[in-house]
Structure 1
């Protein structure tokens, strides 16, 4: 018997590779994944590009990436003996963006209104959601093939998920570096199931369908795209508001606008997302206090209140100080000088990180007030 072929204990029906592959895909859909594709475990074609990206310093403070860079060379480093990579995606598209809601008067918008990226507006951290679905899928795989080995991965292991998603036929890379699927667009969260089972591979998605379109590149207010398909994370609003633990660079603060956490701009403008289907997953539905969020309320949160409200959501990632820093930047960009007393009142109990952002915001709003008086 060939290495990693299905082993069927006595008493169980013999199942072919084709039948097993179909059963795996059905199990993935039953677990709640919207897309599933399979590719052999191989060295990802984007590994050299990833290494060069790291060497350019584009990862910023995300030192967990270069620290284990070599492990991205092959999924064998994630799971020894792996033969197949089952790539999975779940749709998190919940509908209208905040800007279009505001235009139709469906949301209360004020000078303290702040935006939160779509994937983070729901009730649960997507890592927890996807891990639960991976666990369900793994259980079914072990029922189909007792003795097989699996490992589920959600964006925390050294695996180039988007590379393997393309190899598994799930889509192509947009110029904003996102994976785009012809039917589902790019509102996708990826996960992978590694297994030692030899499954039938899906055709690779060889062709990109972006043509001459550059809307995603043009819309970025902080010019985070060095070139098509190349993102400098150090200038990306998502990185600045989620991963960066230091003060946000002065020259990028105005570009952040009203983004409290993350950013959806380069996906909002993508033509492939115009007809993207809505998610059926209830945990992604926007919570009232996150769509829109109040930057002023976030700023005034105590640490205990922050933990209670956000500990199981993506907004826990930047931490209490990081989220309050972001809120101060948003308020500084609001142009509403009436907020200055509120900001000044928050100075006394602020950490150095938050205090610096507050002082910047007060200065910005003071300039706005002076300009308005001059007119």
Structure 2
């Protein structure tokens, strides 16, 4: 009996899957993703590194990273979706946003967090991609139904390893995923599917070379270089992003001066990376653009009390200073007012820090600012005195520290 019909059917299916993979990339770009690549859903090569990193306590208070079930799912993406065969990895650029303000009187907010919460933006588009893929796979006759699940760094998945496997880039010394044609100003998304798609070739080079600009620039010494296997290592407990977002308690006093005026996240290791200045950046998603005073992130609906039928992008709410170089004093005034905080953080990644955590961060930034000027600044001192009576003990502690930095006259009532 001839195998020709069977071989012919297998060839036809392979061609259909290759056609589908090309159409997935085109559809992903239509949805606003910059890179759209495919990797096999197979166990991680970095399980031993992950175990060692957790055992050394480098994850700090991020206990969710160490949960046994989460660790097992990170080790093998197939545990996050029964029957997973492939992972579609996408990048969504948020852009450099231009140079940061050099004024020490403003609060610096990480570029990705100035507009709409990227989790909502990317997840919504991954769901749209899955719906399209389900229909397209049926139309091409490669599957009656495609099951899938999207992840945007909230699920137990090693997105950066998957991105490397899919050929997007390499792990920089700053632990960021670096695309050689784009740099690192993007967020990653991953769509697990139960369809065996042809994978893209992995990225195997390390193009950091001898550069260690990020290690030299990190003000808290969080970047520890590469281990014996070549993997970049970060001590999250010293990272400004961890300290201002994930940490729920007190920021260690010895690290507070190094935070400067960064009130949510940190871009320093990206700002000094040569790859971020080498090529024109991909066109950033408008939803991530910085907001002016009172503006809501694009796509965030008005709440009761705001103008009926108002344009959510155009109608300002004067309760908050926005994210485009906001003055520190205005940020603290906002953070001490729960209603203003609600308006400022709604629909934004900044909400992750919580009102008290964000107020804590601004108190530290103001303390650093006041320590650098002669004589107390009356408006800042008055706000810090209010913060020293805040209902939350974390806010009170950091406000009192900031007042002490301002000198004896600031602490006197």
State the TM-score, normalizing by the size of structure 2: 0.81
Superposed displacement of residue 222, structure 1: 0.5
1:130-169 alignment, distance < 5 Å: 130-146=122-138, 147-169=145-167
Superposed displacement of residue 298, structure 1: 2.2
- Count of paired positions: 353
* Other-structure match for 2:118: 126
Q: Which runs of 5+ in 2 are unaligned?
A: 139-144, 227-231, 293-321
1:1-375 alignment, distance < 5 Å: 16-67=16-67, 68-99=70-101, 102=102, 109=103, 111-122=104-115, 124-146=116-138, 147-228=145-226, 229-274=232-277, 275-288=279-292, 289-301=322-334, 302-334=337-369, 335-336=372-373, 337-338=376-377, 339-366=380-407
User: 1:177–1:230: 8 Å Cα contact kept in structure 2?
Assistant: yes
User: 1:180–1:186: 8 Å Cα contact kept in structure 2?
Assistant: yes
Superposed displacement of residue 296, structure 1: 1.6
Q: Aligned partners of 1:349, 1:90: CA distance in 2, in Å? A: 38
Q: Aligned partners of 1:284, 1:304: CA distance in 2, in Å? A: 23
Q: Say which is worse superposed, 220-229 or 203-212, in terms of deviation.
A: 220-229
Superposed displacement of residue 52, structure 1: 1.1
Q: Say which is worse superposed, 72-81 or 335-344, in terms of deviation.
A: 335-344
Note closer, same or farther for the CA distance 1:43–1:257 as it changes in structure 2 (3 Å cut).
same
Compute the RMSD of aligned alpha carbons: 2.3
Q: Say which is worse superposed, 245-254 or 226-235, in terms of deviation.
A: 226-235
Superposed displacement of residue 23, structure 1: 1.4
- 1:298-330, CA deviations, whole angstroms, 9 ceiling, x for partnerless residues? 222211211122121011001010000001000
User: 2:363–2:398: 8 Å Cα contact kept in structure 1?
Assistant: yes
Q: Aligned partners of 2:383, 2:127: CA distance in 1, in Å? A: 47
Superposed displacement of residue 224, structure 1: 0.5
Note closer, same or farther for the CA distance 1:367–1:348 as it changes in structure 2 (3 Å cut).
closer
User: 1:44–1:73: 8 Å Cα contact kept in structure 2?
Assistant: yes
Q: Aligned partners of 1:145, 1:197: CA distance in 2, in Å? A: 9
Superposed displacement of residue 55, structure 1: 1.0
- 1:274-294, CA deviations, whole angstroms, 9 ceiling, x for partnerless residues? 034143411111113212122
- 1:233-252, CA deviations, whole angstroms, 9 ceiling, x for partnerless residues? 00000000000000100110
SS at match of 1:317: helix
Superposed displacement of residue 342, structure 1: 3.1
* Other-structure match for 1:105: none
* Other-structure match for 2:296: none
User: 2:333–2:383: 8 Å Cα contact kept in structure 1?
Assistant: no
User: 1:149–1:196: 8 Å Cα contact kept in structure 2?
Assistant: yes
User: 2:177–2:184: 8 Å Cα contact kept in structure 1?
Assistant: yes
Q: Aligned partners of 1:367, 1:81: CA distance in 2, in Å? A: 65
